[in-house]
Structure 1
Amino acid sequence: MKPTRIAQLVDVLKKRIPNINACSDAAAHADAVITAISTDSRTVKPADCFFAIEGDNFDGHDFLDRAVEKGARCVITQKRFQSQKAAVLRVDDTIKALGDLARWYRRQLPAKVIAITGSAGKTTTRQIAFGALKECFKCHQSPKSFNNNIGLPLTILAAEPEHEFLIVELGSNAAGEISYLTRIAQPDIALITNIYPAHLAGFGCIENIVREKASISEGLAPEAVLLINGDFEELVAHCRDLGVPYATFGKSPGCDIIGSDFVSRGMSGQISVEGKTIDVPIAGSASLENTLAAWAVCKHAGLSVDDFARAVKTFEAGDMRLEISKVGPLTVIDDCYNANPASMKNAVDCLMQIARVQPGRTVFICGQMAELGKKSRQHHARLGRLIASAGVEVLLAAGPFARTTANAAQEKADADFEFFVFDDTESLCNNLVDIIRRGDIILIKGSRSARLEKATEKLQKLVIL
């Protein structure tokens, strides 16, 4: 973060001078400079400004003293607090104050902002685009999936004046969230990866998802470009009705940026853009689509296709996102960061593609797809039929819809299909030793609430004879 005086911070948030009752020199606090923003007292550094945020599991107000002890020069709080060592600013809503500060700071940055939203592929698209652009430009990106009303402001506030591109994600679980976030980010390049059934508990139907993702256009900077996936007719039609200028990318002949010759080989693949073959060293057919989306971003950012191809060739997948590794005699596909119907299909396809090029029994350790609302049972039954149609040999399902998935798979599968149903991930893990065999190719996937990384950890400890 660019060094900022506390007096300027107060002015930005349109509040009075902080409550510094116990301090003998108010002006000293007003002129003090902060150099970073933190919401985690464990990582506070000297000269930070600490925002006390009340969450589901922790309340930052409980750690105000710790933040000050570690050197925070200013604390933003919703509750009464006094300190002799730091300026204290009390606001009605610390999360909103964080967003207000980020909105102001974004305007101070010379960097072009690239914002990515969509039902799936946001993080991989961002990572590929960042990996390519950083070879030619000074770039900053979201750490992990910082894509909500806390993570996005923190990402923006961590950018430095020398950065030329800032690449962020905008996520949403309910209507109105993208509209709020895009007004903070004010993107110069905005991209919608795709539209799939995800977070239906908050949206209700696919039409509402289209509207929510397209609302990224509401915060566009002047002369910004909106890039949308032209293979999704509902999205194109909605953006056309909005009257917002846009460009399309996709496989369809009418798209402005076209990808062709998609070839997925399980652990890698390739696509062609503008006559150039792009080698993609990551698993899954969706990764090829994410690469095309990343190219659309990079092209509009001024990167050449040759530079893009060279950078993508060395790209590595992120943690728990179709991350393929050898665990002793096992091949493990760790994709347990999150799950929705589209990403489940992509993961199963990846499992079967790998099985075509190496021997081994196909095993799917499957958790639930969360936040699908009233259609949860329907989508889990579809998943079961997909598993059977793909030819998966063994299913280990855990969670509230495990029986639904297993029953649907059993009805459609061949006679030698095996399945095991568990109440929760812990029970599943405790039975792995009796089910897993040497040479198995194992896919692990489910929503974050399933905590399936425990299964990955358990596999690493198994002794397979």
Structure 2
Amino acid sequence: MAILDPAEAATIAHGAWAEGHPSSPLTTFAIDTRVLEPGQSFVALKTDRQDGHDFLQHACDNGALCAIVSKPDHSVKLPQMVVEDPLHSLHSLARNWRQRFTLPVVGITGSYGKTTVKELLGTVMGSQWFRTYANLNNTLGVPLTLLELDSHHDAGAIVEAGINDVGEMELLADLIDPELAIITAVGPAHLERLGDLEGVAQEKSFLAKGVRPGGRVILPVSLLQYQAFREIPDSIQIHAISVGDEEIPAGLEELNNVILYHYNWTEDEKSRGMGHLTTDGSMPLGSFSFMAGSPGMVTNLALVVHTALYFGVPEGTLQACLESWRPFLHRGEVFSHNKLRLYVDCYNANPGSMLDSVSRFKNLFADHPQLYVLGSMNELGKDSMQWHRDTARKLGLPANSNIYLLGDGAEWMRQGLQESGLPDDAIHIMDNLDELRRVIHTFTGAVFLKGSRSYGLESLVPEGAKPC
């Protein structure tokens, strides 16, 4: 974690102390007084919904070491560093501390799959590698993450970067300053602000372009169809990963900094969803078993295996870690409750993640009666209707499925499902979660839950359900 002398911190943050200065160094930081721990520095951020300056007394009462503010409150007996913009100052402190961290930093982003890859890679690299906690991956979470880095105890760091607007990734790339970047996918996410797939690719590419000269970018070879990734500087080597008979974009031979690495995936005939990823001669030979279940998870696995082998993780250690891994919160978790199996992948949703998640569910639970709860996918911009219809049409749901739709895109998904050949009586549009709760309560089989975060579909998991 950071250890910043108060005077040094004020210099870095372009601030000045009021109400005295702390008697000890600034170490960890908080932006929410509800979770602030004694000894932390409180950053008083102002948002559209509330002003952190209104909670200075609460921070003081909770044992804050100091506060970083744009306007001091002299009635609060707490050292306050006065700056022009507390968020910019937080970024400055994080940027400065990151530059002191001498061990490898891996940055991860993508339209979907980034948290899964972060957690899986963290499991493989071991507990000595620091990684982003939960979903602290945006312009607030990344600086808080970087300020936790500790060269004395960490062997390296895995930092996740998530955005929803133009310009944010450039900032995050500057803060993270990675030696290696992993880009998991480009898909239709946050299109209201990013425009189209080319716009998404452009934003995601900034993390790759922000890799230190001499560093590496590891990505699926399919991403090189986008011009933005072809413009990564020659000083950064691109490891382009292909799996199976995946189509290779044309013109790669014109890119001096691209090396193509091929992996093979073989399904296990005896265990549904299980398979074996094998390297070819371009990497140390190895074969790794994993419960993937979908093309997207196979690609995630290949990215993680490639990164681990790059860092020299032994094959036996890598396999053991893959076997111990379990999906992260609301990202493909499986629960059991009486005669139900619930596949919970509802942290968020976009067309790419929806298609891949349904593919995995169908594979894992092909022998079960199936009930699908599909929440709408937010932030798809002006073409939201078409994205919902096209995605639903491509899902390939079994004809005997029970399908329940929720949200603003429900009618569009219904149209797409009908276009795919599903009968009208299999498709139901629901108004609220209470109705769905009653439906699930009477069902026997496997239940699929996925939709955008705002729908809170995880609340449909019955009380007492146990992780499988």
Scaled by the length of structure 1, the TM-score of the pair is 0.89
Map of 1:342 onto structure 2: 352
> Number of paired residues?
445
Q: Does residue 1:316 correspond to 2:332, yes or no?
A: no
Inter-partner Cα distance in structure 1 for 2:303 and 2:400:
30
Residue 173 of structure 2 aligns to a residue in which SS? helix
Kept in 2, the 8 Å contact 1:268–1:284? The answer is no
CA positional deviation for 1:35: 2.4
One of 447, 452, 457 as aligned partner of 1:447: 452
Runs (5+) with no aligned partner, structure 2: 249-258
One of 99, 122, 125 as aligned partner of 2:91: 99
Inter-partner Cα distance in structure 1 for 2:312 and 2:75:
49
What amino acid is the match of 2:370? T
Map of 1:361 onto structure 2: 369
Q: 1:434 to 1:46 in 2, by over 3 A?
A: closer
Q: 1:276 to 1:302 in 2, by over 3 A?
A: closer
One of 123, 126, 143 as aligned partner of 2:133: 143
CA positional deviation for 1:298: 1.9
CA positional deviation for 1:256: 3.0
CA positional deviation for 1:341: 0.6
More deviation, 154-163/124-133: 154-163
Kept in 1, the 8 Å contact 2:374–2:450? The answer is yes
Q: 1:267 to 1:334 in 2, by over 3 A?
A: farther
Post-superposition Cα deviations, 1:334-371, rounded to whole Å, max 9, x if no partner, equal 00001011111112112221232x3x321110101111
Post-superposition Cα deviations, 1:224-276, rounded to whole Å, max 9, x if no partner, equal 212222123324x4333343432212225876332212438655443223542
Map of 1:10 onto structure 2: 10
More deviation, 159-168/336-345: 159-168
Q: Which has the higher helix share?
A: 1
Inter-partner Cα distance in structure 1 for 2:386 and 2:378:
13
What amino acid is the match of 1:80? P
CA positional deviation for 1:411: 3.7
Q: 1:434 to 1:203 in 2, by over 3 A?
A: closer
CA positional deviation for 1:42: 2.1
Map of 1:421 onto structure 2: 429
CA positional deviation for 1:431: 4.3
Kept in 1, the 8 Å contact 2:430–2:436? The answer is no
Inter-partner Cα distance in structure 1 for 2:296 and 2:202:
23
Inter-partner Cα distance in structure 2 for 1:79 and 1:338:
37
Map of 1:263 onto structure 2: 267
Kept in 2, the 8 Å contact 1:33–1:47? The answer is no
CA positional deviation for 1:189: 0.8
Map of 1:23 onto structure 2: none
Map of 2:386 onto structure 1: 378
Q: 1:329 to 1:284 in 2, by over 3 A?
A: same
Inter-partner Cα distance in structure 1 for 2:400 and 2:375:
15
CA positional deviation for 1:400: 0.7
Inter-partner Cα distance in structure 2 for 1:410 and 1:460:
33
Residue 101 of structure 1 aligns to a residue in which SS? helix
Post-superposition Cα deviations, 1:165-189, rounded to whole Å, max 9, x if no partner, equal 1101111212211111010010011
Map of 2:255 onto structure 1: none
Q: 1:32 to 1:207 in 2, by over 3 A?
A: same
Map of 2:206 onto structure 1: 215
Q: Does residue 1:159 correspond to 2:149, yes or no?
A: yes
Q: 1:364 to 1:221 in 2, by over 3 A?
A: same
CA positional deviation for 1:321: 0.7
Runs (5+) with no aligned partner, structure 1: 21-25
One of 191, 198, 210 as aligned partner of 2:189: 198
Matches within 5 A, 1:44-59: 44-59=36-51
Kept in 2, the 8 Å contact 1:276–1:305? The answer is yes
Inter-partner Cα distance in structure 2 for 1:450 and 1:354:
25
Kept in 2, the 8 Å contact 1:410–1:417? The answer is no
Residue 378 of structure 1 aligns to a residue in which SS? helix
Map of 1:175 onto structure 2: 166
Q: 1:454 to 1:6 in 2, by over 3 A?
A: same
Map of 1:300 onto structure 2: 310
Post-superposition Cα deviations, 1:289-327, rounded to whole Å, max 9, x if no partner, equal 111111232233232333222211111111111111212
Inter-partner Cα distance in structure 1 for 2:362 and 2:342:
13
CA positional deviation for 1:437: 4.1
Inter-partner Cα distance in structure 1 for 2:460 and 2:388:
20
Q: 1:228 to 1:282 in 2, by over 3 A?
A: closer
CA positional deviation for 1:372: 0.4
Q: 1:103 to 1:392 in 2, by over 3 A?
A: farther
Inter-partner Cα distance in structure 2 for 1:382 and 1:392:
21
Q: 1:151 to 1:349 in 2, by over 3 A?
A: same
Inter-partner Cα distance in structure 2 for 1:37 and 1:230:
39
Kept in 2, the 8 Å contact 1:327–1:460? The answer is yes
CA positional deviation for 1:436: 5.4
CA positional deviation for 1:434: 4.3
Kept in 2, the 8 Å contact 1:51–1:60? The answer is yes
Residue 231 of structure 2 aligns to a residue in which SS? helix
Q: 1:69 to 1:232 in 2, by over 3 A?
A: same
Post-superposition Cα deviations, 1:101-136, rounded to whole Å, max 9, x if no partner, equal 10000011122110001111100111111111116x
* Cα root mean square deviation, aligned: 2.4
Q: Does residue 1:241 correspond to 2:231, yes or no?
A: yes
Kept in 2, the 8 Å contact 1:281–1:314? The answer is no
Kept in 2, the 8 Å contact 1:143–1:155? The answer is yes
Inter-partner Cα distance in structure 1 for 2:396 and 2:294:
19
Post-superposition Cα deviations, 1:40-61, rounded to whole Å, max 9, x if no partner, equal 2122233211101234544322
One of 113, 120, 127 as aligned partner of 1:128: 120
Percent identical pairs in the alignment equals: 25
Q: 1:241 to 1:42 in 2, by over 3 A?
A: closer
